[in-house]
Chain A
Amino acid sequence: MRLLCITLGIGILIWKLQSPPEMIWVGFLLTASIVGARLAHRAKLPDILGMVAAGLAIGFAPITAAENHQSIKPFADIAMAWVGLYLGTSLSRPIIANQRLLKGSLYLYTAPVLTTFFILIFFDLHPVTTLQLAILSGISSPIFLDRAEHNLRDTWPFSLYVTAIGLCLLFLTGLIFGVEFILNDGFDSFLDLAADIALAVLIGIIGIELMYRWLRHIHTPTGQFMSWFALAFLLALASWHVWIQPLILAWTVGLVLSLRTKRGLRPKMRPPKAEALIAFALAHYVSGLVLDWQMSPVPSYFFPLIAALILGKIAGGLLSSRFTLQPIKTWLPLLPQGLLAIVCFESIAPEIAPLYFVCTGICLPILHLLSDQIVQKIKNGRIRALTRRTQAV
Chain B
Amino acid sequence: MAFIFSLIAGFGAFFLGQKFFRWMPPYPLIDSLRIGRAHYLLLGVLIGMFFPETDEVFHIFEMLRYNCIGAILLWIGLQTGLSTDLQNLRDHGISVIYSQTAVVLATGGFTVLAAFASGLILYRYLGLLQNLPLAIVLLTSFALTVRFPTPFFQWPNRPISVPFPGQNLPLGNIAAMVVLCIAFPPLAEDPIFYLGNLPFIGAAGIALLLLGAGVAGGIALDFSFRSHRTGNRALSLVLGIVIALSGLCQAPGLPSLAVGFLSGIWLINTTVAKREVVEFTTRANDVIEPIFFVLIGSIIGEFGGDIFFIWSPLFPLALTMILVRGMGRTIGFTVSQTLWQIPQTWRELLAMSWHPQGTLSIAVGVQAIYLLDFQHYTLITGLVIAVFLSQIVIIPPANSSQSHT
Interfacial residues, chain A to chain B (CB-CB below 8 A): 2-3, 5-6, 9-10, 13, 15-28, 30-31, 34, 37-38, 74-75, 78, 203, 207, 210, 214, 217, 221-222, 225-226, 229-230, 234, 237, 240-241, 273-276, 279
| Residues in chain A near residue B242, CB distance under 8 A | 27
Asked if residues A275 and B233 are in contact (CB atoms below 8 Å), the reply is yes
A350 to B194, CA, bound (A): 40
| Residues in chain A near residue B195, CB distance under 8 A | 13, 16-17
A230 to B4, CA, bound (A): 12
Residue of A nearest to B226 (CB): A2
Asked if residues A276 and B247 are in contact (CB atoms below 8 Å), the reply is no
Please judge, given known A-B contacts A203-B4, A225-B287, whether A2 and B227 are in contact too, CB under 8 Å: yes
B405 within 8 A of A: no
Least Cβ–Cβ distance between A212 and chain B, in angstroms:
12
Q: Which of B67, B244, B286 is within 8 Å of A10, CB to CB?
A: B244
Least Cβ–Cβ distance between B282 and chain A, in angstroms:
12
A27 to B291, CA, bound (A): 18
Asked if residues B240 and A34 are in contact (CB atoms below 8 Å), the reply is yes
| Residues in chain B near residue A31, CB distance under 8 A | 237, 240-241, 244
A34 to B4, CA, bound (A): 34
Asked if residues B239 and A30 are in contact (CB atoms below 8 Å), the reply is yes
Asked if residues A222 and B233 are in contact (CB atoms below 8 Å), the reply is no
Q: What are 5 pairs between A and B in contact, CB < 8 Å?
A: A6-B220, A6-B224, A21-B67, A26-B244, A210-B11
- Residues 279-313 of B, flagged 1 when their CB comes within 8 A of A and 0 if not, give 00000001100110000000000000000000000
Asked if residues B251 and A279 are in contact (CB atoms below 8 Å), the reply is no
| Residues in chain B near residue A229, CB distance under 8 A | 287, 291
Please judge, given known A-B contacts A24-B247, A38-B227, A222-B287, whether A237 and B233 are in contact too, CB under 8 Å: no
A38 to B235, CA, bound (A): 14
A363 to B233, CA, bound (A): 25
Asked if residues A22 and B8 are in contact (CB atoms below 8 Å), the reply is no
Q: Which of A6, A226, A240 is within 8 Å of B57, CB to CB?
A: A240
Interfacial residues, chain B to chain A (CB-CB below 8 A): 3-4, 7-8, 11, 15, 18-19, 56-57, 60-61, 63-64, 67, 70-71, 194-196, 198, 216, 220, 223-224, 226-227, 232-233, 235-237, 239-248, 250-251, 286-287, 290-291
- Chain B interface, DSSP helix/strand/loop, else mixed: helix
Among B71, B240, B241, B251, chain A packs the most CB atoms within 10 A around the CB of B240
Q: Which of B194, B245, B286 is within 8 Å of A27, CB to CB?
A: B245
Q: Which of A26, A34, A221, A275 is within 8 Å of B247, CB to CB?
A: A26
Q: Which of B60, B198, B233, B287 is within 8 Å of A240, CB to CB?
A: B60
Please judge, given known A-B contacts A6-B224, A222-B287, whether A276 and B235 are in contact too, CB under 8 Å: yes
Asked if residues A226 and B291 are in contact (CB atoms below 8 Å), the reply is yes
Least Cβ–Cβ distance between A273 and chain B, in angstroms:
7
A260 to B18, CA, bound (A): 23
Other A-B pairs, 5, CB within 8 Å; known A22-B67, A27-B240, A214-B15: A5-B223, A17-B195, A20-B251, A24-B247, A222-B290
Closest 5 A-B residue pairs measured CB to CB? A27-B244, A24-B247, A23-B247, A30-B240, A276-B236
Asked if residues B60 and A74 are in contact (CB atoms below 8 Å), the reply is yes
Asked if residues B237 and A3 are in contact (CB atoms below 8 Å), the reply is yes
A19 to B243, CA, bound (A): 16
| Residues in chain A near residue B8, CB distance under 8 A | 210
Q: Which of A13, A18, A225, A226 is within 8 Å of B194, CB to CB?
A: A18
Asked if residues A17 and B251 are in contact (CB atoms below 8 Å), the reply is yes
Least Cβ–Cβ distance between A98 and chain B, in angstroms:
29
Residue of A nearest to B196 (CB): A16
Residue of A nearest to B7 (CB): A234
| Residues in chain B near residue A34, CB distance under 8 A | 233, 236-237, 240
A234 to B47, CA, bound (A): 12
Least Cβ–Cβ distance between B379 and chain A, in angstroms:
25
| Residues in chain A near residue B248, CB distance under 8 A | 13, 21, 24
Least Cβ–Cβ distance between A329 and chain B, in angstroms:
26
Please judge, given known A-B contacts A3-B223, A229-B291, whether A214 and B11 are in contact too, CB under 8 Å: yes
A229 to B68, CA, bound (A): 13
| Residues in chain A near residue B243, CB distance under 8 A | 23-24, 26-27, 30
Asked if residues B18 and A217 are in contact (CB atoms below 8 Å), the reply is yes
Asked if residues A276 and B232 are in contact (CB atoms below 8 Å), the reply is yes
Asked if residues B244 and A24 are in contact (CB atoms below 8 Å), the reply is yes
Residue of A nearest to B283 (CB): A221
A18 to B237, CA, bound (A): 25
Least Cβ–Cβ distance between A36 and chain B, in angstroms:
12
Q: Which of A5, A28, A274 is within 8 Å of B244, CB to CB?
A: A28
Asked if residues B71 and A23 are in contact (CB atoms below 8 Å), the reply is yes
A229 to B15, CA, bound (A): 16
A16 to B3, CA, bound (A): 39
